Amino acid sequence: MERLKERIVNCTACDLSKTRNHAIWGEGNPNADILIIGEAPGADEDRIGRPFVGKSGQLLDKILLACGFTRQEHVFLSNILRCRPPGNRVPKEEEVDKCIAYLYEQIELVNPKIIVPLGATALKRLLNDDSLKITKIRGNWIQWENRLVMPVFHPAALLRNPALKRDTWEDFKKIVYKYRELVNPAHYSEHV
């Protein structure tokens, strides 16, 4: 994992390396049973050098806490891209092509039982399928590379449209149930 981190933080494979402050390699338990994947770092992440630290990350932390999960013990956080696209635009195909191998290598190293792509871009790029619609697939388990994938709405979408929070909470409850089934039957959450 340290060798991968070194390669990521020093990567110059695409032009995003010229405008970034930090390349974000990931954060959390390197042996986590849950891997959460976002689209790309935002302004706060680029400035601080950690994933999911802005408003979306704060909301994600609240959701994880309600599930009884922590960054330190239960999850590893990663992204499709390691550098912030200017203006938080959607990643370009060529940027994803240069960066996605890092994610696949990270998945192999962490070896999670459950993968949670946050939002449409993470879902489409992880599974390499542009036809997927987060609104249709979210909340349903998908088998991929001998792993279980649970697509959910990105926390940024919840901030823009609070009506999505109920569906997202139902999806995360399914993740807690599956975690209990696969990892720890005694996993505690006062809400699930």
Nearest to 103 by CA among 73, 131, 129, 123: 123
Q: For residues 17 and 73, give the distance between their C-alpha atoms in angstroms, rounded to a whole number.
A: 31
Residue owning tokens 């999806």: 171
User: Are residues 1 and 67 in contact, defined by beta-carbon separation less than 8 angstroms?
Assistant: no
Contact, 51 vs 70, CB < 8 A? Answer: no
Domains along the sequence of the chain with CATH = 2-179 (3.40.470.10)
Q: Is the pTM of this model over 0.95?
A: yes
- Both ends of the chain: CA-CA distance in Å? 33
Candidates 145, 183, 159; CA nearest to 67 is 183
Of residues 4, 112, 89, the one with CA closest to residue 40 = 89
pLDDT of residue 82: 97
CA distance 29 to 32: 5
Task: Quote the pLDDT of residue 140.
Answer: 98
pLDDT at position 166? 97
Cα dihedral sign, 156-157-158-162 = positive
What pLDDT is recorded for position 148? 98
What is the side-by-side strand order in the sheet with 114-117?
27-28, 75-79, 34-38, 114-117, 147-149, 142-144
Which tokens in the block code for residue 53? 């630290």
Can you list the residues of the chain whose pLDDT is less than 70?
none
What's the confidence (pLDDT) of residue 177? 98
- Determine the pLDDT at residue 145: 94
